[in-house]
Chain A
Amino acid sequence: MTSAPTGSTRLKRRRLRRTVHFGEPLPPGAHLFRASWLCGPSVLWMTLFLLGPLLFVIAMSFAQRGDDGEIIWRFTTENYARLFGQGALGFDPVQPLILARSVGVGAVTAALCLLAGLPVAFFIAGLPRRWKGAALTLVVIPFWTNLLVRTYGWQLILAPDGWVADALRTANWLAADGELYPGWPAVLIALVCDYLPFMILPLYASVEKLDPALEEAAADLGASPTRTFWHVVLPQIRPGLVAGCVLVFLPATGQFVIPDLLGGAKLALLGNAVQQQFGAGRDWPFGSAIAVAALVVMLFGLWLHTRVTQGRREVALP
């Protein structure tokens, strides 16, 4: 008879695996030696091409811009002051607005994804076992296809003379001169479509664990469906829900392609602001400051994510 290993035997076995290697004892120094040639190249690579460049960005955000766009390495916090609204003539709301808009767009996208993702998660959880894998694959296929193609696909669908806009105008839901694209509706639709898989996967993982008998029990005891949902279902699927919201919120705030193609110039988000400063604006120090702001938002989200999942689960890759 076998039983699941208890916590302490599992720990013992792990320790055993670490010191006994393929049945042979491993001297302490050997760990470091083997790790260094197996992991060393990648650690070096990621240090050189990820951490190094990111540190450069942070350093650059404290530098100054010369008159011709060149970089002057003199310490200043001016870029951050500008980010939070200090302009040449007092308060300038442009940059803080971009910051607030990005966070707002991320939050709205997460909320919409939640609304759209819940039924899909429940639906897949209710499928017969052999169909679940196929349904989940169906969810992630769009995520792995080209983002540009999906984005311009929405351009075609939401075009001012397209049939969707026509239908909405006939139904009087859209003003006669109203447009879906470029503008907010198009950006939000594309963002939701893009990040929905990030919501569905963790939600599904939570719903899957939920015992359907609980819902039935609540109903038997006289709870209305709404009450059952709020008091029985929701508390149980909260980990997946929060994980999904964070996973959608993070990339959505830094999006560059979707607002660029569907939003028009007025709807710049953090990503567009960075691109503008590194491209036409030729103000790399200020662009770096915006990039650092995006990084801080990301780190905050990651921290939230690890706190909620308590490191129980590795990041679920679609």
Chain B
Amino acid sequence: MNTRRSPLTAFAALVVFVFLYAPLAVVLVFSFNAARYGTAWQGFTVDWYLRLLDNDAAISAGINTLQLACTSTCCATLLGTALAYGMSRYEFPGKRLFHHVLHIPVFIPDIVLAVALLLFFAVVRKFLAGFELGMTTMTLAHVTLQIPFIAIVVRARMADCDPQLEEAAADLGAGPWLTFRHVTFPLMVPGIVAGGLLAFTLSLDDFVVSFFTSGPGATTLPILIYSSVKRGLTPEIHALASLIVVVSAATVVTVAWFRNRTEVKP
């Protein structure tokens, strides 16, 4: 008997996959349902997607979300990549401790990080006039959330690469800069791209941290969706949600494809 190939295992796995995708599928289906109210199917329409174009709240939230995700991802990618490179090549006191600190944001309940930052920003506001909760505070918060993800992904990539490649380049007479430019950095790129894209989706989908560190006028799409769920859902929100889901899913598929293509072959 082989558990892996048994039809029973395959069937159970299929059920679990359906279960994983059910909520996403339902939202996607409802975004094409012509019915304004209720759950009955009343025909196919793309009307809700078109109406989003006239929805000012959704548009401005969308712009905020993209702006936030782009800014924070750029900052975090720069910081995280330098961090990963430095940590894998050089020694400094407290490195092991900092390695553990990096894993805090991965495991910490979102809400704890969110209130900690809220508290911190409230204190800063007391001492710094004109410091308001808004896009800036959200960006700071997101970068904090993203740095560890990028650093972990890039470091893992660097650990997979053969150190002898660098030694070979040096043996062949390349100086430190040439070696970095033509050997090390190209090897790091897949890790940087994967880490950056994952960090981007992290920012795009974050609700809890944004919710606590945003101010009036700085609404993001997840915050908009949350308030709609609380007030009552409309098909337009289904359409909006579907769009976000499709963007995130496409990003993850890209990362997987990219990783697969550039995998270090043993």
Q: Hey, which bits of chain A sit against chain B, CB under 8 A?
A: 13, 17-18, 21-24, 31-32, 34-36, 38-39, 41-43, 45-46, 49-54, 56-57, 60, 116-117, 119-120, 122-126, 133-134, 136-142, 144-157, 159, 161-162, 190, 193, 196, 207, 212, 215-216, 219, 225, 228-229, 233, 250-251, 253-257, 261, 270-271, 274-275, 278, 284, 287-288, 291, 294-295, 298, 301-302, 314-315, 317
What separation, in Å, do the CA atoms of A41 and B76 have in the docked complex? 11
CB neighbours (8 Å) of B149 from chain A are 317
Size class of the contact patch on chain B:
35 or more
Query: Least Cβ distance of B165 to chain A in Å?
Result: 11
Q: Is the Cβ of A49 less than 8 Å from the Cβ of B39?
A: no
Apart from the given pairs A43-B98, A156-B23, 8 other A-B contacts in the complex at a CB distance below 8 Å: A54-B104, A123-B10, A126-B2, A144-B252, A193-B23, A256-B110, A271-B109, A274-B111
Q: Considering the complex, which residues of chain B in the window 116-149 have a beta carbon less than 8 Å from any beta carbon of chain A?
A: 116-120, 123, 140-141, 143-144, 147-149
Q: Is the Cβ of A56 less than 8 Å from the Cβ of B252?
A: no
Shortest Cβ distance from A146 into B: residue:
B205
5 sample A-B contacts, Cβ–Cβ < 8 Å, listed by A number: A18-B89, A22-B174, A52-B120, A156-B23, A193-B19
CB neighbours (8 Å) of B111 from chain A are 254, 256, 271, 274-275, 291, 294
CB neighbours (8 Å) of B225 from chain A are 146, 148-149, 152
CB neighbours (8 Å) of B201 from chain A are 144
With A119-B16, A141-B249, A152-B27: A22-B117 Cβ-Cβ less than 8 Å: no
Contact with A along B146-176 (1 / 0, CB 8 A): 0111011101100000010011011100111
Q: Which of B3, B4, B179 meets A22, CB within 8 Å?
A: B179
Query: Least Cβ distance of B233 to chain A in Å?
Result: 7
Q: Is the Cβ of A150 less than 8 Å from the Cβ of B24?
A: yes
What separation, in Å, do the CA atoms of A196 and B17 have in the docked complex? 10
Q: Is the Cβ of A315 less than 8 Å from the Cβ of B252?
A: no
